């Protein structure tokens, strides 16, 4: 099992697709290189929501995991999101990425069906029990509908192989309680627009989609906040949130890809049923790039 440090800033890796929705390997490798060479990320979170993961086949997921590992090699930390409503697939992917040498695995809480907490707990213990690796819980209630309490996080954390949580929710009271109660567990901020307050509350790092293009500002916020330079950090957070507002107004994943295109990266298209780019969307992305980069 890898002992690489899991702290720091991670891009939730975008995946480049061609117009037919097939994986564009050349473009994916360029996105990875941009995150390494330009954004100077500490790591990549591969196979998450930003990677359009839940619209992919098992074989496509494996191919993306392979490409990311091959391109990044050992230059930064790699976390693989293997969660699925299909537990057998999650176990299969956990074994696959562990054999590839990923530093940790992550899994979204099982969604769609109203699973009991005992079912959720069994899901996590089953996945991590199948491999010699470390698990990061992926808590994103606004997409999964799964809210967990402090005591339930504690039950999951009682498994020593479950080492942390990607906390993508706005309940900062719960975040503070988790930080105080479980000082030895890792917490990653999942909302890029709230990186500053999350860092003040003591997160160990952050995982976000906008870091694919805005990683340098993310780094400034994170480092300034850790140095208790809150006023300076807030100034950068303001600019970042102006950018995020403009991105969200134009279409989240597509606009980030279009911004990367402006930076010379073949970031490709989104997979349907996500919408195709309109001329207006492309023009607006060019305006956003000129404004912020």
Active-site position among 45, 138, 253, 289: 138
CA 224 to chain centre: 22
pTM higher than 0.95 for the full model? yes
Domain spans of the chain? 8-292
CATH 3.40.50.1100 fits 8-292, yes or no: no
Q: Return the number of other C-beta atoms located less than 10 Å from residue 233's C-beta.
A: 23
Is residue 123 part of the annotated active site? The answer reads: no
In angstroms, rounded to a whole number, what is the distance separating the alpha carbons of residues 251 and 267?
Answer: 15
Three-class HEC string of 11-41: EECCCCECCCCCECHHHHHHHHHHHHHCCCC
Instruction: Say which DSSP state 145 is in.
Output: -
> Tens digit of pLDDT per residue, the chain (293 long)?
667 899 999 999 999 999 999 999 999 999 999 999 999 999 999 999 999 999 999 999 999 999 999 999 999 999 999 999 999 999 999 999 999 999 999 999 999 999 999 999 999 999 999 999 999 999 987 567 668 999 999 999 999 999 999 999 999 999 999 999 999 999 999 999 999 999 999 999 999 999 999 999 999 999 999 999 999 999 999 999 999 999 999 999 999 999 999 999 999 999 999 999 999 999 999 999 999 99
- For 241, half-sphere exposure in the C-beta direction (CA atoms, 13 angstrom radius) is 12
- Report the binding-site residues for pyruvate: 50, 207
- Report the binding-site residues for aceneuramate: 49-50, 168, 190, 192-193, 209
- Give whole-number Cα distances, 12 to 32, 52, 68, 103, 207, in Å: 11, 10, 12, 15, 6
Active-site position among 166, 185, 257, 269: 166
Is residue 166 part of the annotated active site? The answer reads: yes
């Amino acid at each position: 099992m890898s002992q690489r440090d899991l702290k720091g800033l991670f891009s939730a890796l975008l995946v480049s697709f061609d117009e037919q929705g097939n994986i564009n390997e050349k473009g994916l490798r360029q996105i990875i290189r941009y995150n390494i060479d330009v954004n100077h990320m500490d790591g990549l979170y591969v196979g998450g929501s930003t990677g359009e993961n839940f619209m992919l086949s098992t074989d496509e997921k494996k191919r993306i995991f392979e490409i990311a590992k091959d391109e990044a090699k050992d230059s930064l930390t790699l976390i693989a999101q293997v969660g699925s409503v299909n537990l057998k697939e999650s176990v299969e992917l956990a074994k696959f990425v562990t054999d590839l040498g990923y530093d940790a695995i992550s899994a979204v809480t099982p969604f769609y069906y109203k699973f009991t907490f005992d079912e959720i707990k069994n899901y996590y213990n089953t996945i991590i029990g199948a491999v010699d690796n470390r698990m990061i819980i992926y808590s994103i209630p606004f997409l999964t509908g799964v809210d967990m309490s402090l005591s339930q996080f504690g039950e999951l954390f009682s498994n020593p192989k479950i080492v942390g949580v990607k906390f993508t929710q706005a309940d900062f009271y719960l975040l503070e309680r988790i930080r105080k109660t479980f000082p030895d567990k890792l917490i990653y901020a999942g909302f890029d627009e709230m990186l500053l307050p999350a860092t003040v509350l003591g997160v160990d790092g952050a995982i976000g989609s906008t870091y694919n293009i805005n990683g340098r500002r993310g780094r400034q916020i994170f480092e300034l906040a850790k140095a208790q330079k809150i006023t300076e950090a807030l100034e950068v957070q303001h600019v970042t949130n102006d950018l995020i507002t403009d991105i969200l107004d134009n279409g989240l994943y597509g606009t980030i890809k279009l911004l990367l295109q402006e930076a010379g990266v073949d970031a490709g298209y989104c997979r349907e049923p996500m919408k195709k780019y309109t001329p207006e969307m492309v023009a607006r992305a060019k305006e956003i790039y000129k404004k912020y980069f």
